[in-house]
């Protein structure tokens, strides 16, 4: 397929904020897409060339893009930087400058999707001497052969900044519309018409379930096109490919929580650590974070705990890794161990200085059997049988069977005293629902609900803070995967690293992510997630979300959260209306 056809779709998607229009545009495109192009098309629509769990990353910074544009267009880097400062989007800069490029390729041919996809994939595999120049050449080769609008989306894909609003729900529904006309969904006059809502929802559930099992829309689309409904139902969990973890909404007190999960239920400690999904196949053990990042190398001691203490030929376990003091044995806040997630060097020393205890609380696959649809009580029984507990190494999440509010309140106080965040309450007869905040489990933390916000812009400081970014624009995420502003924050951030989240740390994290700068203000890729507390949520015409946080304060970095895991606009609105009731 010619790349320009995909680019035209991306341009159409960018021109509308309406989810139904996006769904229609993608579904019509998928109908015309040949099977051999589907894998690349689905990934590129998401602005990716690798699935989220793949360890390979494109790894190209903005500065390298400037050099690629320079090589392709023959324009001085200083002039490119001026255009960047003026326009603010390197994709738009590439589009403008390719129109006026000095080097005209006499024998260039039309770019194909496969050519673009393959060149971008090669970027991740380059290493050793001369890597930078080879990366520049691969990108410049594409830009030299591209039409101006193609250059725009090539650059955005390289920078992982597509911004066309292809959220998971939109892709899912697009697959239903494209390959299951019997679902009865018709797009008419910018509205969806469904002849049989029950049948339509049935097909949506089938596609969603296939995605839950595989975490791969390329596989789902291919299967839907070639094997239909039956093929989708045959997609199964595969050890070594992570699924999204099940999430629980927050409840304000034991009474409301028990209404959601029923009695009796299981109450568990809610630890202040980070999720680890543990995969084992024969002798191979792989660890994934909630963000689907492979962190096996960063936690060699956890691999050893699992090898030594968990019986089974193959399994997928859900757990929480919690840091503790090697001197006192007391649990430590997440921030104390978060640096281990990204660490690539001095791993043995880090393991000694920042040890973790693995708290296992669920099993979604065991010895060849998918356990997702089994009742939680049965899944808990399995881990109680297969895990040999070893305190401060590997244990089961501490739990009781709670029959009433009194049981919950007592256990909650015990958990808080032990240094935890609170408790989780779990419905005993519920399945495991990947990636969803469902009422199968809820969390009780007992304080004002903090939110996970993404930093999308910042401002350089003044005086002694002139070398640091010191004011940060926060955003939540909407259904189209767009980031909407909810305010600025500068408090809760420390002068010194050892005191907590520091200005220097945030500056170092954000500088490589800067995509434009005007004066002291910079825009950054939405990559860094922070947990934020606030006094109140207010209506505000100032910010694109329509809301603002009053007196926000940064609590900590959330290295275990991806931007897509940020607090949603729907949830922020729920919090807004909930506070109005108080």
| Kind and range of the H or E run holding 514 | strand 514-518
pLDDT of residue 106: 46
Residues 6 or more apart in contact with residue 120 via CB below 8 angstroms = 49, 58, 138, 154, 157, 158
Q: Do 254-444 and 451-581 come out as alike in CATH topology?
A: no
Angle between helices 62-73 and 77-87 (to 10 degrees): 120
- How far, in whole angstroms, is CA 216 from its chain's centroid? 14
Which CATH superfamily hosts domain 451-581? Nucleic acid-binding proteins (2.40.50.140)
Q: Which of 57, 565, 477 minimizes the C-alpha distance to 275?
A: 565
201 CA to centre of own chain: 26
Residue spans of alpha helices (H) in 51-147: 62-73, 77-87, 90-99, 113-125, 131-145
Flag whether pLDDT at 107 surpasses 50.
Answer: no
Report d(CA 362, CA 432) in Å as an integer: 9
Query: How far apart (Å, rounded) are the C-alpha atoms in residues 245 and 242?
Result: 9
Other CB atoms within 10 Å distance of the CB of residue 160: 17
Q: 459 vs 580, which has greater pLDDT?
A: 459
What mean pLDDT is predicted for residues 499-522? 85
Residue 453 confidence (pLDDT): 95
Question: Which of 67, 244, 270, 427 does the annotation list as catalytic?
Answer: 270
Collapsing DSSP to helix, strand or coil, 316 comes out as strand
Percent of the chain scoring above 90 in pLDDT: 60
Is residue 270 part of the annotated active site? The answer reads: yes
pLDDT in tens, 425-472: 999 999 999 987 788 999 987 666 789 999 999 999 887 788 999 899
∠ CA 414-450-495, rounded to 5°: 100
The CA distance from 376 to 395, in Å, is: 18
Mean pLDDT, rounded, for 183-199: 80
Mean predicted confidence (pLDDT) in 379-387: 97
Task: List the strands of the sheet with 265-270, edge to edge.
Answer: 399-402, 265-270, 422-427, 441-444
What pLDDT sits at residue 580?
Answer: 63
Number of H helices, E strands in the chain: 20, 21
Determine if residue 458 is left, alpha or beta; phi over 0 gives left, psi from -120 to 50 gives alpha, anything else beta.
beta
> For residue 526, how many other CB atoms are within 10 A of its CB?
24
What are the domain boundaries of the chain? 254-444, 451-581
Question: pLDDT per residue over 82-100, tens digit each?
Answer: 888 788 788 999 999 988 7
Rounded CA-CA distance 216/244 in Å is 11
Mean pLDDT of 340-350: 83
Phi and psi based region of residue 19 (left: phi greater than 0; alpha: psi -120 to 50; beta: remaining): alpha
Domain 254-444 listed as CATH 3.30.470.30? yes
User: What does the alpha-carbon distance between residue 222 and residue 217 come to, in Å, rounded to a whole number?
Assistant: 8
Contact 363, 317 (CB under 8 A): yes
pLDDT in tens, 129-171: 888 999 999 999 999 999 999 999 999 999 888 878 788 889 9
If you average pLDDT over residues 521-539, what whole number do you get? 90
The answer to whether 287 touches 278, Cβ cutoff 8 Å, is yes
Of the candidates 485, 502, 484, which has an alpha carbon nearest to the alpha carbon of residue 493? 502
Contact 160/152 with Cβ under 8 angstroms? Answer: no
| pLDDT above 90 for 33 | yes
């Amino acid at each position: 397929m010619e790349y320009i056809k995909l680019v035209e779709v991306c341009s159409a998607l960018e021109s509308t904020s309406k989810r139904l229009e996006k769904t229609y545009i993608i579904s019509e495109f998928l109908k015309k897409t040949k099977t051999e192009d589907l894998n690349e098309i689905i990934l590129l629509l998401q602005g990716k060339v690798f699935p989220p769990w793949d360890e390979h990353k494109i790894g190209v910074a903005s500065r390298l893009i400037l050099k690629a544009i320079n090589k392709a267009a023959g324009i001085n880097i200083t002039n490119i930087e001026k255009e960047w400062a003026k326009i603010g989007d390197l994709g738009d800069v590439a589009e403008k400058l390719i129109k006026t490029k000095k080097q005209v390729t006499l024998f260039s041919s039309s770019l194909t999707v496969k050519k673009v996809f393959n060149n971008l994939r090669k970027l991740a595999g380059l290493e050793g001497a001369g890597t930078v120049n080879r990366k520049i050449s691969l990108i410049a080769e594409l830009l030299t052969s591209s039409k101006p609008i193609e250059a725009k989306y090539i650059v955005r894909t390289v920078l992982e900044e597509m911004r066309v609003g292809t959220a998971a729900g939109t892709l899912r529904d697009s697959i239903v519309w494209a390959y299951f006309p019997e679902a009865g969904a018709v797009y008419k006059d910018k509205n969806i018409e469904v002849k049989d809502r029950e049948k339509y929802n049935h097909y949506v559930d089938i596609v969603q379930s296939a995605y839950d099992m595989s975490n791969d829309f390329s596989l789902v689309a291919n299967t839907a096109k070639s094997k239909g409904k039956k093929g989708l139902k045959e997609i199964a969990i595969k050890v070594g490919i992570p699924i999204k973890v099940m999430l629980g909404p927050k409840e304000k007190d034991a009474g409301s929580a028990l209404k959601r999960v029923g009695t009796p239920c299981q109450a568990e400690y809610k630890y202040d650590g980070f999720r680890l999904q543990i995969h084992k196949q024969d002798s191979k053990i792989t660890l994934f974070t909630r963000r689907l990042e492979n962190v096996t190398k960063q936690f060699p001691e956890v691999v050893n705990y699992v090898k030594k203490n968990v019986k089974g030929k193959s399994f997928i376990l859900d757990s929480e890794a919690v840091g503790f003091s090697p001197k006192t044995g007391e649990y430590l806040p997440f921030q104390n161990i978060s640096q281990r997630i990204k660490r690539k060097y001095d791993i043995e020393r880090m393991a000694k200085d920042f040890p973790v205890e693995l708290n296992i609380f669920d099993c979604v696959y065991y010895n060849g059997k998918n356990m997702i649809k089994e009742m939680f009580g049965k899944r808990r029984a399995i881990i109680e049988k297969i895990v040999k507990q070893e305190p401060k190494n590997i244990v089961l999440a501490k739990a009781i069977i709670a029959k009433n509010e009194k049981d919950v309140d007592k256990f909650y106080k015990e958990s808080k005293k032990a240094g935890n965040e609170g408790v989780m309450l779990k419905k005993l007869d519920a399945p495991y629902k990947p990636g969803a905040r469902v009422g199968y489990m809820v969390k009780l933390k007992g304080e004002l609900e903090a939110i996970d916000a993404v930093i999308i812009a910042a401002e350089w400081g003044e005086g002694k803070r002139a070398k640091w970014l010191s004011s940060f624009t926060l955003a939540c995420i909407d259904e189209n995967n767009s980031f909407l502003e909810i305010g600025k924050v500068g408090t809760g951030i420390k002068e010194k690293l050892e005191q907590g989240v520091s200005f220097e740390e945030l500056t170092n994290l954000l500088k490589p992510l800067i995509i434009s700068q005007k004066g002291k203000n910079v825009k950054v890729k939405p990559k860094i997630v922070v947990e934020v507390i606030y006094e109140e949520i207010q209506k505000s015409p100032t910010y694109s979300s329509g809301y603002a946080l009053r007196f926000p304060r940064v609590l900590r970095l959330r290295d275990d959260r991806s931007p897509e895991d940020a607090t949603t606009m729907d949830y922020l609105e729920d919090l807004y209306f909930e506070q109005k009731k108080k």
